Structure 1
């Protein structure tokens, strides 16, 4: 296949900081950020951001440096990351919900010049952190030198550093320059045109590069950013209410969240207030597209692209076709080159599968402190004009005359769960550090929203399986984000091998279906007589999880629960109890004991009203 290339229109604004400043100066009275009851105008946001940038420069931050931001999703988070960019440094935003040990490892890896946080969040880290800390309050109190002058020559300097899972057990960080971010935002604006009358919801975790769409795209186009409350991004009821009450017109969510959102709200509910909806991060099923079109007049855009090519590199808008049988990832966006190559690095014929190589202005500079990995994944362009590298994506695709490209799967061990890119090797490396574990393997079972991780362990001869499995689960929860912790574990006498002696992952994937709890009811939930709320909750959870029994302190998510099962459990409880059950109770209190107490309190408060 010959490459597919789209052209970039003449525009020399390849710096994120100057795009932000020019937009804020153009309409300083316009609401830029809404965070609950707090509203920041563009002028106020500019002033607060310049204060952050001035403080950072005063502490020695220069272009090429990295500054870590460790804040809850909030207006202060937006001020923090944009302040770093204005200072000329690269923002490294860390999710405060990740295990502290993992965050410390990434801090040590990226060696930031400073860390922006709050005293409360700073207290999570050891006293000898080795990084100078500045607080949000210090930044707000800084008196900037006037006038503020942007740094020089930032086009090719990093603006953003994004960590993703690493196959060696060590997360890797993509260095994304200003020109890559601005290229992608211009492409989005030209195809999806935001304006001052739009409002976009920011709910995506900062560890996922799509959060750049929710923060920077609206900020450079005069659109208002509405910030979802921390911890509520998985709550479909909260999101639906926020979309309506805050008059959200543009919404991005990963495919699994879109499915959860529609499932939780029911097929009769409509979302015609949305003007545009974007999704991606996982394969998009035709049935989900049809369900979305049945509930909204908004067009749905399917975005594809690894973080190494900055947010996305292809896009496709599925037609409103009741007979739609395939959802494509689309053609190249502007200033992007795509090649589909065989194992020998030669272009494949049209319609034949091959590995996708990505080039163009959206490419990252490589990986931080990983020259060998950078050389392996960012390879010379031996087919085009040779002016820049190509990113070897590891994704299998083929061309299609209607939809541009069709995504077929992976060529390596990388999987996606709820839109997050996961290297199975990182899970396996963490499990192998637990005493008693001799071998470890992880696989993904299921597709789309049903995809779940399963861990397999071979133990030392004297190990106690139940104790070691529990220790592995605890270790992974302490070391990895929740989306990387397998839903179930199984112990084996030996790992299955292929004929050539390699781990037989295909066989493990088949066996994973037997390890996971059934997704349908294994027992019938019969609410007992009287008002034994704990028994009702236990019965419903057993039904939804497909298990015969649940202890009062067992964690819903540790025994196979996920966001979709929360929806089923909540709807079942509402039908049995005749009251509204807030969905976030299950996330806040995932044990029968805690959930029952919270639900009882909610019922009392409801009756008092």
Structure 2
């Protein structure tokens, strides 16, 4: 790819395949020509509002074809898109907008009705009348070093940090030779657009003449995912390691027609890979490792047979345009087979952190090996090279963890929790009490003579943190310490899923089945009719598993939305058709 910018390369693709399907969703099909014209009109509108180079435009929308139109329009206006997830607490969204300079905000009707953060100017994309604006390409000049998007991720200071990714990095991702198989021509867009994987889901198909197949808005259940993959003839997709493990356990057969499934964002369970390869022998499972600080993926490893997983799942080998170094704390290469910190270098790296030169200097350091004056990114992950020259994951360095595919800095959670009144000490850790299942736990000690209102503390955290960063809370009299005065992590107790409120026992066979499924999925000792799934630390991944188990046990057709509306056993029992006793 020799294009200088994403919009330039897309324009060339429109010229080559104007009538090919670019975007497909339930009830909506857009060809490359139609997508181009819609994006051109919105781009002219944005230019009229002052959008331009080095100026972020925020995109706060649910999954729909309009998201693709909006992102493309921002780039055609010469600006950078700044994705916001609709589930972020309003305080977090407001902080990001203010930090980005109060940019134009693109949104949709549904999210506007729920309330928006303050922004410099709000444009409702699916209501905005652009019929009087030209369909022609505004032809705003682009440059490879222009910022294509700014994506905010967790930060150690208690505040998010925005990573600026230039056009050259995204073009490099789309040009990678691993996509030349054609297996990613019908690609399922399932990730939130505020998650780094969306870069792959958007630009690999759009810049190669493929089709983006959009999952419906909102949280997905396994039945919907199975239907989409099968009915829409998906050839390639990415699922986070946790979601991949869940689908491999509940419905591995749905991958039968998929040529390649990418998975990563956390440690990949070998048993999940084996189950998929056994059930779908024609499907390749590819492990992916990446970071928000570059254009999504950096290292990968394909697994085609059970023999490929015999020794576990490695991290793999660098993608095109990237170099991987395994270094000690003096930035010297470690001996073969020894563990060291992974550094990444090459043309796919981001510029750094938006408006934070101090953080940029800490993580993006001079590359002493290439001799071209470039930089390398310090990942914070510990790896080693195997005897075959393949990178293998060892562990995390410092307080960096991955939760449900999202990178999380434990320091940010500790800062937020510590702001709750009446706490003397706070320690947030990532626990893996079950293999492949990382969960956050916050251990809190009340101030002298005080107590901790755990529901109020949980509500405080939920107001300031995304749901995947809200930990389970454990109240202790004191934090256990090692002889040298450091936190003794091994002595911290396993968080228990405590049932809140009075216990009301199930009275029918179906209620007993539902209570049993709640207990099984949540790991709770006892769940009554009035205990809320979400009050018992149930999150979206567990919700998908619960819905799948209910469908299997009771034959009931439920969605994640049903569980949000009826989160207790009693409410779900009322929601199910009468006469459906287990």
TM-score scaled by structure 2? Answer: 0.92
- Indicate the larger mover: 439-448 or 575-584: 575-584
**How far apart, in 2, do the equivalents of 1:258 and 1:552 lie?**
31
Q: 2:43, 2:138 within 8 Å by CA — same for their partners in 1?
A: no
Q: 1:114, 1:132 within 8 Å by CA — same for their partners in 2?
A: yes
Equivalent residue, structure 1, for 2:139: 150
Distance apart, 1:158 and its partner CA: 0.6
| Residue 121, structure 1, aligned to residue 105, structure 2 | no
Residues 34-56 of structure 1: CA deviation (Å, up to 9, x unaligned): 12111111111000001111111
Q: 2:234, 2:257 within 8 Å by CA — same for their partners in 1?
A: yes
Equivalent residue, structure 2, for 1:277: 261
- The correspondence for 2:86, drawn from 93, 96, 102, is 96
* SS of match in other structure, 1:515: coil
Q: 2:255, 2:276 within 8 Å by CA — same for their partners in 1?
A: no
- What does residue range 71-110 of structure 1 map to in structure 2 within 5 Å? 71-110=61-100
- What does residue range 358-373 of structure 1 map to in structure 2 within 5 Å? 358-373=344-359
| Residue 162, structure 1, aligned to residue 151, structure 2 | yes
**How far apart, in 1, do the equivalents of 2:555 and 2:7 lie?**
53
Distance apart, 1:539 and its partner CA: 4.2
Q: Residues 319 and 146 of structure 1: is their aligned pair in 2 closer, same or farther, counting only changes over 3 Å?
A: closer
**How far apart, in 1, do the equivalents of 2:29 and 2:469 lie?**
35
Q: 1:195, 1:222 within 8 Å by CA — same for their partners in 2?
A: no
- What does residue range 348-387 of structure 1 map to in structure 2 within 5 Å? 348-387=334-373
Distance apart, 1:303 and its partner CA: 1.1
**How far apart, in 2, do the equivalents of 1:71 and 1:573 lie?**
31
Q: 1:63, 1:151 within 8 Å by CA — same for their partners in 2?
A: no
Q: 2:363, 2:377 within 8 Å by CA — same for their partners in 1?
A: yes
**How far apart, in 2, do the equivalents of 1:560 and 1:172 lie?**
27
Q: Residues 481 and 601 of structure 1: is their aligned pair in 2 closer, same or farther, counting only changes over 3 Å?
A: farther
* SS of match in other structure, 1:490: strand
Equivalent residue, structure 1, for 2:36: 46
* SS of match in other structure, 2:318: coil
- The correspondence for 1:289, drawn from 270, 273, 278, is 273
**How far apart, in 1, do the equivalents of 2:523 and 2:315 lie?**
35
Aligned-residue RMSD, C-alpha: 2.7
**How far apart, in 2, do the equivalents of 1:155 and 1:339 lie?**
25
* SS of match in other structure, 2:151: strand
Residues 445-492 of structure 1: CA deviation (Å, up to 9, x unaligned): 116642211110011234333x2x111111111211111111x31111
Q: 2:461, 2:470 within 8 Å by CA — same for their partners in 1?
A: yes
Equivalent residue, structure 2, for 1:418: 404
Q: 1:438, 1:459 within 8 Å by CA — same for their partners in 2?
A: yes
**How far apart, in 2, do the equivalents of 1:111 and 1:63 lie?**
14
Q: Residues 564 and 381 of structure 1: is their aligned pair in 2 closer, same or farther, counting only changes over 3 Å?
A: closer
- The correspondence for 2:16, drawn from 20, 23, 26, is 26
- The correspondence for 1:434, drawn from 406, 420, 423, is 420
Q: Residues 367 and 279 of structure 1: is their aligned pair in 2 closer, same or farther, counting only changes over 3 Å?
A: same
Q: 1:183, 1:361 within 8 Å by CA — same for their partners in 2?
A: yes
**How far apart, in 2, do the equivalents of 1:159 and 1:121 lie?**
24
- Indicate the larger mover: 87-96 or 489-498: 489-498
- What does residue range 291-310 of structure 1 map to in structure 2 within 5 Å? 291-296=275-280, 297-310=282-295
Distance apart, 1:532 and its partner CA: 6.6
Q: Residues 159 and 308 of structure 1: is their aligned pair in 2 closer, same or farther, counting only changes over 3 Å?
A: same
Equivalent residue, structure 1, for 2:501: none
Equivalent residue, structure 1, for 2:451: 464
Q: Residues 544 and 308 of structure 1: is their aligned pair in 2 closer, same or farther, counting only changes over 3 Å?
A: closer
Q: 1:413, 1:423 within 8 Å by CA — same for their partners in 2?
A: yes
Q: 1:398, 1:407 within 8 Å by CA — same for their partners in 2?
A: yes
Q: Residues 568 and 126 of structure 1: is their aligned pair in 2 closer, same or farther, counting only changes over 3 Å?
A: closer
| Residue 474, structure 1, aligned to residue 469, structure 2 | no
Distance apart, 1:253 and its partner CA: 0.8
Equivalent residue, structure 2, for 1:521: none
| Residue 591, structure 1, aligned to residue 568, structure 2 | yes
**How far apart, in 2, do the equivalents of 1:153 and 1:568 lie?**
45
Q: Residues 557 and 154 of structure 1: is their aligned pair in 2 closer, same or farther, counting only changes over 3 Å?
A: same
Distance apart, 1:160 and its partner CA: 1.0
Equivalent residue, structure 2, for 1:8: none
Distance apart, 1:73 and its partner CA: 0.5
Q: 1:195, 1:221 within 8 Å by CA — same for their partners in 2?
A: no
Residues 379-408 of structure 1: CA deviation (Å, up to 9, x unaligned): 111232142111111111111243621111
**How far apart, in 2, do the equivalents of 1:221 and 1:544 lie?**
41
Equivalent residue, structure 2, for 1:178: 167
* SS of match in other structure, 2:169: helix
Q: 2:21, 2:32 within 8 Å by CA — same for their partners in 1?
A: yes
- The correspondence for 1:216, drawn from 187, 198, 203, is 203
Residues 354-392 of structure 1: CA deviation (Å, up to 9, x unaligned): 111111111010001111110100111123214211111
* SS of match in other structure, 1:312: strand
Contiguous gaps of at least 5 residues in structure 2: 499-503
Q: 2:183, 2:235 within 8 Å by CA — same for their partners in 1?
A: no
Residues 255-285 of structure 1: CA deviation (Å, up to 9, x unaligned): 11111112122x6x35321112111111223
Distance apart, 1:143 and its partner CA: 3.5
**How far apart, in 2, do the equivalents of 1:184 and 1:441 lie?**
38
Q: 1:328, 1:403 within 8 Å by CA — same for their partners in 2?
A: no
* SS of match in other structure, 2:187: strand
Distance apart, 1:213 and its partner CA: 1.0
Matched pairs, number: 573
| Residue 483, structure 1, aligned to residue 468, structure 2 | yes
- The correspondence for 1:64, drawn from 20, 39, 54, is 54
- Indicate the larger mover: 276-285 or 448-457: 448-457
**How far apart, in 2, do the equivalents of 1:107 and 1:578 lie?**
45
**How far apart, in 2, do the equivalents of 1:373 and 1:464 lie?**
37
| Residue 136, structure 1, aligned to residue 113, structure 2 | no
**How far apart, in 2, do the equivalents of 1:20 and 1:374 lie?**
30
Q: 1:237, 1:264 within 8 Å by CA — same for their partners in 2?
A: no
